[in-house]
Every structure is written in structure tokens, then in C-alpha cells.
Structure 1
Amino acid sequence: MKFQKWLQDHSQHITWLSAALIVLGYAGKFTHVGWLYAWVLAIASLIAVVPIAVHAFQALKVKVVSIELLVTIAVIGAFVIGEYNESAIVTFLFLFGNFLEQKTLSKTRESIRSLTDMAPTTAQVLQADGTTEDTDVDDVEVGDVVVVKTGAAIPVDGVVVAGSGYADEAAVTGESRAVRKTDGEQVFSGTILSDGALNVRATKVGDDTTFAKIVELVEDAQDTKSHAEKFIDRFAQYYTPAVLLIALLVGLISQDFKLAITVLVLGCPGALVIGAPVSNVAGIGNGAKRGILVKGGEAMDQFAKIDTFVFDKTGTLTKGETAVSDVVVFTGSKDDLLAQTAALESLSDHPLGRAVIEAATRRKLNLNLELTDHQTIRGQGVTAKVAGVDVCAGNEKLLAAHHVALTPEQQAAVSKLQQTGSSLIIVAVAGQVAGLIGVSDIVRPEAKAALAALKKAGAKHLVMLTGDNQTTADYVARTLGVDEVHAELMPDQKVEFVKQFQAAGQRVAFVGDGINDSPSLATADIGIAMGSGTDVAIETSDVVLMQSSFKALVHAYRLAKKTVLNTRENVTIAILVVAFLLLGLVAGFIYMASGMFVHEASILVVIFNAMRLINFGGRAEKLD
């Protein structure tokens, strides 16, 4: 075991020593020192074959016929026929190929390594006397308050209890801009406080933090094999022994021992074995650094085949927050209408009223108007004198009770707003209808372009399933260009629709928030939790978009298709190279050393091809 560890630690030294001896040996050939040429190349072969043979022996112990076994047998055969130059070059190329392979493969894992490197190791825990104590992050407990200063990594998931600042949350959500954090707001472990200072009460620590779960998920995902990888693994189990058998038959039939040994070298399926895993790792790494967590190669493979996207409405296609969506003014100005209504609603806790107050506040309107005779009428609305003027805001029942009538024009405007699914506030000032305020769950502004981009990328059918009323659902569907909509559904009914689509032969992805949509996420071919870092989302979904972003959804879909295409390209390259080598061997222009050179070059080609995935979508992607 110690010897094997020593070989692993000094593999680079062995490779460079082998190269130096080969140079020395050929120097002897060109200076006509024949013994130097033969002996030095024989020594180079022996030195280089040792780590290869040890690896082959370790594989045989677990009943695996490896590529290293083929090379070891080929070297032994080369020694038998005195082809020391061939054995030296073959072993060096094999070691050098492994060296380059490890170097380039490490590049594909950089995004994951950068995640783990960001994990904080210590925390400044606030003590009862107001001082802080440097504590190992594994010893921090839920409820502890940690102090985070500018430039430091936040060591726990928690809630800000004091201070303010800007946190870089790219490692968790993929959001490139720093996010302002103040009292009561949530922060995540592993994010960097780029400015300010915070006191954070820990709600999750250690392996329970969102950041720790992300790292674990991505590492596990890179070890989860796609269908292509599983097929290639099964293929290699039979292919490598078959190469041994073919080489034996070639030797017996042709009586050409060197030809049989060459078949062993050329038959190494290196590029075929490495092609699919490296594409998988690069694709998952690309998503991870953008806050897109894909649970392994199989999920990536399934995602690429999706043709039907099923969306939850609230919180997915819409923002999930009630806000003023329309203001229709009949008399006065929009600002006056909002200011008067917001002042009226300031003494009410109704959700519609809060939406109006928020809209007026954003417009920096004056809400400190004199209020008298304020009255809230359950099921109708509110009334008061605002700056001495009678104002009432509510529904048509309230207007009727105050003998205020709608004109035909105003009634038409009311009907139009109701068709959008908006909740309606009718505002009357001094006995006349002054305007209408529509409050609704706002459709995400980027959603329409994103859905069009999904179709352009290969989606054939877009569906919306919602528990909301049919009128609102129809309006959202028309606005976004959704193909099919079903409303007023319970969670179990959404599951039934997903099953119906699957029974019709469609590949279904369900996009939801990962909480109340968990049954549908689990039932669909691919469950996508959008904008949620909750435990439920990570456990239930196949793809987790840490940032609530349609741009991330489109990128994830394109990335899945690109990764699967890249895998197929690599498999094709590997097969074509094997065919070329066999053709070259038959035609007489490929030999043992040149064949090994082409073989190692093909491994690097598929690795470099896969590395293109690392920067896929590197430029800002447009949704349209």
C-alpha cells in the first residue's frame, strides 16, 4: 500500500524521468552508441511500466480487466521481441496522457472546488459580555449570534438581528449583484459580506446549512452517471477482454507477435471511457457556478429530453406578491388618487390596502393627510374624510350604500379590469367615482420572453396549473402565451394532470416552488424548484434554481441539451479514432508507438471538447 502511495505521489517524476531516458537513448542512436540506445530505452520502459502494472494488478484484484493491463501485456511482448523503443514510447505516452488528463479534468472541477474553498471554517460568536470568541464553525450552535464584518464569509444560515450591509450571494443563488441585508432578513452560509457589518442569529449550522447542502448535492451529482456513462461502463467490461481475445487470435492466425501486441495497444478504449464522464462533470460545474443545481448525469440526460413544461402560477410565473397592477383615473391625477386611497387605507390592515400604500410609498407621495370619521365596513371597504373631503374606497356595494353610481363608461372600465383577474378598489371622491385601482399578483416581466426562449430551445408544450380562479389564470395564460391552462386545482389534481401528460407520451418537467408542489415535482420526469433553497426543494427536485430567475431556467434547459450533445460528440470521436487506428493498422501506416500517440491525443480531444461546456453561456444570454 505504501509503495502504491509512493508511486501515486511521484507519478510526474516517473513520467519526466522516462522522457529524459528516451531522449538519452535516442541521443545514443544518433551518435551510433548502440548499447546505450538499447539499454537506456529498456530501463525507461521498466521504470514507466511499474505504475501501470501496479494499477493493472489492483484492478485485477477486483476482477476488472483494465486498459493498464493491455498496456502492461503489450510492454512485456515488446520486451520479448526486443522492441525496447516501442515499449518505452508507449509507456511514456500512456503516463504523459494520464498526466495531461488529470490536469485538464481538474479544470472542469474548478467551479466545485471554488465552492468548497468558500466554506468558512471559523465564526466570531458574540458572548454575553459583548465580546466575540473565535469559534470553529462546527462548534457553533443554533441560536448563537455571530458577528460578520466586511470581507468575511457568513458562517451560518441565519437572520440578521443587528447591522446592515451588502452580501454577495453568487455562491448560493447565482445572483451577480450584492444584496442589501438589514434587520430581519435571511442570510446564507458561504456568502460574502462585501460591505457593512452584521450580527446574525444562527438558524442552521454545519452540514445543515443551505451552502453545505449545495456542495454535497453538486459533489454527489458529479458521481451520478448518465445513461451514456452506464452503457459505456457495461460496454468496457466486455470490450477490454474482447481486445485481449482478438489480439490472441491475431497472433495465432498471423504468427506475427508484434502485430498482436500492436492490436492490444490500439484497442485501448480510453477516449470512450473518459468522454461521457468529463462532459457530465463540466456541464454540472457550469450550472453550479450559476446557482443551477442538477442532480447528476441522469437528471441532465432526462432534462434534455423534456418537451412539456408545466408551471405553477403563483410565485413562479407571477411574483407571488399582491401589488397595484392598474390605475384608471376619471377625475384628478393618478398621484392624487393613490395618495388619497393610501391615506384612507393607512388605518386598515387589508392586503389590498397594503398594496396601495406600498405603491404610493414607492412614488414618494404625501400620505400624511388629515383623516376624520374613518370607518371600516366589513365586506365593502373603508370611508373617511380626507383633508375634509368625503372619500370611500371599496366595492360596488360600498358605492351603492353611499348612493354613488357608475356611468356606462366607468362600468365598462370595471368589467375590463375584472377580466384580468385583478381585485378591484373603486374610489369615490365627493360623491363621484374618481378612479379604479386594480390589485393583483404581478406577472414576472421576463416570463413571456423566457417561455418563448424555452420553445425556441426545444419545448413543444407549455402548461399552467394553478389553484387560483379561472379568470385570473386565463388572463395570465393569454399574457404569457401559455398553450394550456387549468385553474382552481388542489395539489393532488395537479399530479393527475402531470400523469395524464406522461401517459400521452410527453416528457414532463414541473416548475414550482418546491413546497406545496412537492407531489408534482416528484411525479414529473424532471422536477424543477425555482427560486427556493429550502430542504424540501433540494430533496424533492431534480433541478434546483437557487435564484428565482427565468434566465436560469432557460440556461439550465439549454445547458442540458448542450451537455448531452457534447457527450454524443465525445462518444462519436472515440469510435472514429478506434476505427481509424484499426484501418491504419491494416493499411500499414499505424504502428505501436504512433497508435498510442493517436490514442492519447484522442483522450485529450474529448476532454478539451467537454471543457467547452465550462464557459457555455458565458456571455449574457438573451431570452428572446
Structure 2
Amino acid sequence: MMAVIHKLKNQITAGSGMLIVIGFLSGLLGNEQMEEAFLITATVIASIPIFSKAYQALRIKAFSIELLVSIAVIGAMFIQEYTESAVVTFLFLFGDLLESRTLEKTRSSLKELVDMAPQEAVVIQDGQQRTIPVEEVEVGDRIIIRSGGKVPVDGRILSGKALLNESAVTGESVPRSKTVHEKVFSGTMVDNGYIEMMAEKVGDDTTFAKMIELVEEAQESKTKTEKYLDRFSGIYTPAVVLLSLIVFALTRDLHLAITFLVVACPGALVIGAPVSNVAGIGNGAKNGVLVKGGEVMERFAKVDTFVFDKTGTLTKGNPEVTDIKIFAQIDAEELLRLAARAEMISEHHLGQTIVKGAKARKININGEVKNGEVVKGHGIRADVEDHTLVVGNRKLMELENMSISKEALEYAVTREKAGNTVIFAAIDGKLAGLISIADQIREDALNALTEIRKNGVKKIVMLTGDNPHSAKLVAKQLGIDEYHAELLPEDKVEYVKKLKTAGHVVAMAGDGINDAPAIATADIGLAMGESGTDISMETADVVLMADQLMQLSHAYSLSKATIRNMKQNTFAALSIVFVLLMGVLFNTVHLASGMLIHEASVLLVILNAMRLMKFNPKNETVEPGLQVA
């Protein structure tokens, strides 16, 4: 029954409005009895959905706005104020209708995401191409995507090349060129080209499906302000009923008491904070920023200290081998071959850079690695062919009691001061050579850091496992307040704890893998880009889907704007209620006008929140990348 009434609410609103118009016309023609009859009928019809919701609230022992309006309407009918009762019920329903339509717009970003979800996939089965529903795609399926087609699941390109529009996932509208072995994500679109891919994640495991799930959960979650306002309205609403009774007891004016009851409805107060939260999170999702709920948004807005990892966060995370210096009877290519063979067991970005450098030189690095051991934060030990290799940083050489000549140390320092990370490679207990690796600072790093400072961040810190010389160079070029080098993952965690103990509200940005413990320790953990997508989706508070630091700046600005908007709505709601109550007590606001202003105030806070949907801090031109480690 309740569901039927809800479905017919639009028709009920339109019907009651027409009856009121007919009633007023009858009055103008001098037929007062017909006027009353139409107004009473309009009141009864419009009261059905209001009374039903009030009854539902009473069943769960809750004081709702509908209950207050129901009491007011019954009172108005009792004192034969049929015009007031009809107008109040119609305005309440009409206002509710406008609120629903406007609220739908604040959720439009989520709807757009859902609409972007692919429905079909072209798979190769038994040598034949078949179009199947995306739900039937299985891990390992070979899928074809042509120009204009959507990538149905997550996976890797097996053959072909294409320009992909990844805006649905990353918020970045500029298409990216992708080819063999590169990752592609569900929901992205092939603008131009042709690719065949292997399905690696399907169904609810795809990045796009997780995005939609996270945004849905985030928009339903509540900030501390919302929770407080919920508790407040639970006390406020029955208090309004009590105050109305006191007004009646003191004045013996039932009309005044009923008007007091209507204008004191906390509609705008209750809806103001949630709608800001929904609009803010929706804006983030549209721009490739996933904020995991209202509490995260509220906490993020209070951040005064940002901590950054260096490699892959402030730098591009695409380092290259720039130099190989030999200190033994071995040539550079052979040293790189052995080091790359050993590094095959490592997932560290520097180890993978050595592997990539060997492959780029077309060096064969296939073969067995024995007794491989990753020394966390330092490097690796491994037996390759008939040699024992130790490859890592200077501290690993010290742990292994490896002798390093003065010449090698001086060369290492020179390379580090030039912005390189130096990897020491020892063979059979003796230093064989130094491998220099360099990266570039992200083009948008300087602008992003400048923007977050403008928005209230007092301190920016960089924590890195890299050498002090490279760290100093990056810190100087980006204007970072403080940096700490040669840190292990646990050292980063301790430093974040130290900042929190000192009273700072800390946000930690990293790649979501090596920095996962520090990200989890910070008040706000941020992870960015494809490298940390799997982990960051689960652990970080804010996920930046694109490899862009300006997204971080946008996310921080958005959190500030959302909480500011929430406060504006709360202040406006309280101010309007206060003014209306004063108007009632001084007899300048009446029942119908009070309801009209009340509904207008609800729309006002919704429209104010909708401004967040178009929030976009201006992007400035960026500097060219700078080479660093």
C-alpha cells in the first residue's frame, strides 16, 4: 500500500493543486460552500502520503517532519482553516517533489558512472568471434575491442595498439596510447585502433566495478556533522512539539501554535549536510578521485601536513639506467646481465628498472636464480650461474662487509649529486660496478604542491628510501619544507606517528605498495595511479585513479569546499528557522507562507550543495619535467 502511494505521489500532488485552484475560483465566483468542499478534498488527498510516512515513523518511534506537518494539518482542519490546510499539504508535497528531482542531480555523477559500464564483450571461442554479455566473460578469455568499443573487463593487451579514453576511470580526458603488455581497465573506451586483450579481472573484481561500489558506499556514509545533526533532530523535533504546546498554553491561540509547529520543521537542517556530502563525493568520482565517505572528507579538510614518498609519487616512477661504471674485470653489458638476472626476483621499482634496462639492450636474462633473498629496504642476494651476487644500496654493502674503494665512493656521490640513484653490484664478495638510475619529477608536482599550500597546508615533508643527495635535489626543486632519506618502510611509519603525536593532522601520499604501512598509519592515506590500484582500492582513504598530482590538489580543495558548503547549509537552515519563529511570534508569518518559506529553504540548501558538482579549481600551466632520481 505504501509503495503504491509513493508511486502515485506525483499524481496526488498535481491533483491536489488542481483542486485548490478550482476551490479558489469557486470562491471568487461567490460559492463558498463549493470552495470549502474542494479545499477539504485537496487536503484529504494530499494528506495521504504525508500521513502514511508519519505513521511509518511512529511505528519505529521516530519523530519525522511528516509527523509535525500531520499534526499541523489536523489542527488547521479542526479550527476550520481549510485554505491553510490545503496549501500547506500541497506545498509540502510539491517541495518534496522538487527536492527529489534536485537530489537526483547531485547523484548524477554516480549515475553517469553506472551508465558507462560495458554491457557486452566480443570474445574469441573455438576460433570464432562471439558477442556475449559482460557477466559471462571469464578470466583467461581472449577479447577483441575495435574503435568506439568499450573495454569490458580488466586485463592486458596481447596484440594491437590503440588510443584509449580512460576518463571513466581516471578522470583524464586526454586519450592514452597503449600497446602490447600494457594494462587496460573496464569502462574505458578505444577511441582509435584495435586491440586483443586477455581478461585478468572480471565481474565485481574489475577496477570500474569497485569504483562504482566505493562511490555508492561513500555517498551513503555520514560525516560526524551529519551524525550530530541526526542526533540533534531526534531531540529537536519532539522539542518543537513541546514548545508548540507551551505556546498554545500561554496564548490559547491554536492557529499560532500550529504555525509555530510548521515553520520550526528542521527539513533544511537535516538535508543540508548529506546533500553536500553526496555532491562532493560525486564531483570527486567524476574527476578520478575516490573519497571513501563523509568522515574521510571531513578529516581530509583538516589536514595541515602532507607527507610524500618520492619515487613514483613526486617523480614519474619511470626511472631508466643512465650509466654503468665498472670497478672489476667484467664488461658493462655482462654486469647488467647478471644484475638483471638477480633482480628478476625483486618487485622493487629500482630492481625492475635494471631488468627493463637489460631488455632494452636486448640482453638475454633468462635462466635460473638460486637462493634468492630480498633484503627489505636494501636490495637482494642471489646465486646466478656460478656467481653470488649482492645488488643494492650502500647500506647493503656495509651489511655484507663489502669493501668499497675511495674512487667508487667518490663516483657514487658525484652521480647522486647529479640526481641519480646509485645501485652497488658486487660479484663473489667484491664490488664489480655501479649502476646509475634516474627518474624525472612529475610535470605537475610543483603546481600541485603550490596549490595545496594555498589551501592551508602548513608543512610538506618527503620521506624516501633513496640517497640524501637525490632527496635534497628534489626537495630543493619542489620547495619541500623537510626531507628524510635512506628510510625503511618502518622508518616512514615511525615518522608519520611522530608527526601525529606532535598534533599534526597528516596525509600520506604514496604508490600504495611500498608505502602501504605509512599510508595506513596517517590520518588520511592517499594512493595514486595504476601501480597501487589493487592495494589502494582496499586500504587508502583517498584513491587518485590517474598518475597526476594535480588530482591530489583537486581532492584536497574539494574536501575543503565540501565541508565549507556543509557549514553554509547548516548556518542557512538555522538562520531561516530562527527568522521564521520570530515572524510567527510577532504575527508576521502565517501557516501557508511559513510552509512556503520552509520549502524554499530546503531547496536553497540543495541548490547550494549542487554548486559542488561543478567545483573545479583552476589548473595552471605546468613546468617541464626535471631529471632526478
* TM-score normalised per structure 2: 0.83
After TM superposition, list the pairs within 5 Å mapping 1:434-449 onto structure 2. Answer: 439-449=437-447
Aligned to 2:271: 274
After TM superposition, list the pairs within 5 Å mapping 1:384-403 onto structure 2. Answer: none
Aligned to 1:81: 79
Contact 2:263 2:598 (8 Å CA) reproduced: yes
> Which amino acid is 2:141 matched to?
D
Quote the Cα distance in structure 2 between the aligned partners of 1:346 and 1:488.
Answer: 28
Displaced runs of 4 or more, over 3 A = 323-326, 344-359, 396-400, 411-418, 618-624
Choose the corresponding residue for 2:159, options 158, 162, 177: 162
Name the SS for the 2:319 alignment partner. Answer: strand
Per-residue deviation, 1:438: 7.3
Choose the corresponding residue for 2:218, options 216, 221, 224: 221
Aligned to 2:198: 201
Name the SS for the 1:321 alignment partner. Answer: coil
Quote the Cα distance in structure 1 between the aligned partners of 2:300 and 2:52.
Answer: 40
Quote the Cα distance in structure 2 between the aligned partners of 1:204 and 1:412.
Answer: 49
Choose the corresponding residue for 1:29, options 16, 27, 30: 27
Provide Cα deviations, 1:174-222, integer angstroms capped at 9, x if missing partner.
1111112222111101111122222211000000000000000000000
Name the SS for the 2:503 alignment partner. Answer: coil
Cα gap change, 1:43/1:111 in structure 2, threshold over 3 Å: closer, same or farther?
same
Cα gap change, 1:273/1:481 in structure 2, threshold over 3 Å: closer, same or farther?
same
Aligned to 2:486: 488
Aligned to 2:365: none
1:579 maps to 2:578: yes
Quote the Cα distance in structure 2 between the aligned partners of 1:257 and 1:315.
Answer: 69
Provide Cα deviations, 1:263-313, integer angstroms capped at 9, x if missing partner.
110110000001000000100011101100000111000000000000111
Per-residue deviation, 1:68: 0.1
Contact 1:581 1:590 (8 Å CA) reproduced: yes
Aligned to 2:101: 103
Quote the Cα distance in structure 2 between the aligned partners of 1:419 and 1:545.
Answer: 31
Provide Cα deviations, 1:12-39, integer angstroms capped at 9, x if missing partner.
1111111111111111111111112111
1:253 maps to 2:250: yes
Cα gap change, 1:225/1:44 in structure 2, threshold over 3 Å: closer, same or farther?
same
Per-residue deviation, 1:117: 0.9
Aligned to 1:455: 453
Cα gap change, 1:495/1:397 in structure 2, threshold over 3 Å: closer, same or farther?
closer
Quote the Cα distance in structure 2 between the aligned partners of 1:98 and 1:536.
Answer: 42
Aligned length: 553
Name the SS for the 1:319 alignment partner. Answer: coil
After TM superposition, list the pairs within 5 Å mapping 1:561-600 onto structure 2. Answer: 561-600=560-599
1:515 maps to 2:536: no
1:148 maps to 2:151: no
Aligned to 2:547: 548
Quote the Cα distance in structure 2 between the aligned partners of 1:195 and 1:498.
Answer: 45
> Which amino acid is 1:55 matched to?
K
Contact 1:322 1:355 (8 Å CA) reproduced: no
Per-residue deviation, 1:485: 0.9
Contact 2:185 2:208 (8 Å CA) reproduced: yes
Aligned to 1:242: 239
Quote the Cα distance in structure 1 between the aligned partners of 2:305 and 2:421.
Answer: 31
Aligned to 1:464: 462
Cα gap change, 1:347/1:484 in structure 2, threshold over 3 Å: closer, same or farther?
closer
Quote the Cα distance in structure 1 between the aligned partners of 2:443 and 2:153.
Answer: 33
Aligned to 2:537: 538
Per-residue deviation, 1:149: 2.1
Name the SS for the 1:520 alignment partner. Answer: helix
Contact 2:554 2:617 (8 Å CA) reproduced: no
Per-residue deviation, 1:325: 7.9
Contact 1:323 1:442 (8 Å CA) reproduced: no
Contact 1:324 1:356 (8 Å CA) reproduced: no
1:301 maps to 2:298: yes
Aligned to 2:286: 289
Aligned to 2:610: 611
Contact 2:421 2:470 (8 Å CA) reproduced: no
Aligned to 2:188: 191
> Which amino acid is 1:297 matched to?
G
Aligned to 2:51: 53
Contact 1:450 1:623 (8 Å CA) reproduced: no
Aligned to 1:362: none
Per-residue deviation, 1:559: 0.5
Quote the Cα distance in structure 2 between the aligned partners of 1:347 and 1:439.
Answer: 15
> Which amino acid is 2:304 matched to?
D
Aligned to 2:557: 558
Per-residue deviation, 1:323: 3.6
> Which amino acid is 2:238 matched to?
P
Cα gap change, 1:195/1:467 in structure 2, threshold over 3 Å: closer, same or farther?
same
Per-residue deviation, 1:535: 2.3
Contact 2:447 2:550 (8 Å CA) reproduced: no
Quote the Cα distance in structure 2 between the aligned partners of 1:495 and 1:618.
Answer: 32
Per-residue deviation, 1:520: 1.0
Per-residue deviation, 1:76: 0.5
Quote the Cα distance in structure 2 between the aligned partners of 1:560 and 1:224.
Answer: 15
Quote the Cα distance in structure 2 between the aligned partners of 1:418 and 1:535.
Answer: 32
> Which amino acid is 2:511 matched to?
D
> Which amino acid is 1:498 matched to?
V
Q: Which protein has the larger Cα radius of gyration, Structure 1 or Structure 2?
A: 1
Contact 2:537 2:543 (8 Å CA) reproduced: yes
The gaps in structure 2 that reach 5 residues or longer are 324-331, 341-352, 362-387, 390-403, 424-434, 624-629
Aligned to 1:93: 91
Quote the Cα distance in structure 1 between the aligned partners of 2:150 and 2:552.
Answer: 28
Name the SS for the 1:482 alignment partner. Answer: coil
Aligned to 1:310: 307
Greater Cα offset, 182-191 or 78-87: 182-191
Name the SS for the 2:317 alignment partner. Answer: strand
Contact 2:272 2:569 (8 Å CA) reproduced: yes
> Which amino acid is 2:546 matched to?
Q
> Which amino acid is 2:5 matched to?
L
Greater Cα offset, 571-580 or 523-532: 523-532
Provide Cα deviations, 1:431-456, integer angstroms capped at 9, x if missing partner.
xxxxxx97512222321222122111
Contact 2:443 2:622 (8 Å CA) reproduced: no
> Which amino acid is 1:216 matched to?
E
Per-residue deviation, 1:593: 0.4
Provide Cα deviations, 1:114-135, integer angstroms capped at 9, x if missing partner.
101111222222112x212222
Per-residue deviation, 1:320: 2.0
Name the SS for the 1:82 alignment partner. Answer: coil
Quote the Cα distance in structure 1 between the aligned partners of 2:181 and 2:484.
Answer: 37
Cα gap change, 1:578/1:538 in structure 2, threshold over 3 Å: closer, same or farther?
same
1:38 maps to 2:40: no
Name the SS for the 1:320 alignment partner. Answer: coil
1:175 maps to 2:172: yes
Per-residue deviation, 1:321: 2.3
Quote the Cα distance in structure 2 between the aligned partners of 1:20 and 1:605.
Answer: 26
Cα gap change, 1:412/1:517 in structure 2, threshold over 3 Å: closer, same or farther?
closer
Quote the Cα distance in structure 2 between the aligned partners of 1:40 and 1:494.
Answer: 73
Per-residue deviation, 1:616: 0.5
After TM superposition, list the pairs within 5 Å mapping 1:384-423 onto structure 2. Answer: 418-422=416-420
Cα gap change, 1:7/1:438 in structure 2, threshold over 3 Å: closer, same or farther?
same
Quote the Cα distance in structure 2 between the aligned partners of 1:499 and 1:420.
Answer: 32
Quote the Cα distance in structure 2 between the aligned partners of 1:323 and 1:296.
Answer: 38
* TM-score normalised per structure 1: 0.83
Per-residue deviation, 1:163: 2.2
Per-residue deviation, 1:619: 5.5
Root-mean-square deviation (Å): 2.9
> Which amino acid is 2:584 matched to?
L
Cα gap change, 1:610/1:319 in structure 2, threshold over 3 Å: closer, same or farther?
same
Provide Cα deviations, 1:79-102, integer angstroms capped at 9, x if missing partner.
100001001110111001111101
